[in-house]
Amino acid sequence: MISANNFKTGDILDDYADFRFVECVFCKCQYIHDFELCTLFYDPNDLERSFSTLFGCDEDKNYPLPCRKCKRTEWDFTDIDNDERENVLKGEWGWAI
């Protein structure tokens, strides 16, 4: 996994956050996920666009927004391995590494 150490949301809860780079399992589109607060940051140009990745047991496990790149409505994400660090640096979220 790759930590997003320079990522800041301006939220006072940042001290408790654990930001990591993740990617869509289908198209490798990159996102930042806060593993502590279970929030996915969706858009590198608009940090207000985020949503909770916690679901109740009676809820559908569908994210409120489709993947930015492959547009799938049923998608999921996974940690990005450290050996893909170069790709993250060159990507949209490179500023946050």
Positions touching Zn ion (CB under 5 A) are 24, 26-27, 29, 67, 69-70
> Rounded CA gap, 17 and 63, in Å?
20
Residue (65 or 97) nearer to Zn ion, CB? 65
Closest approach, Cβ 23 to Zn ion, in A, equals 8
Closest approach, Cβ 85 to Zn ion, in A, equals 20
Residue (7 or 42) nearer to Zn ion, CB? 42
> Rounded CA gap, 27 and 25, in Å?
6
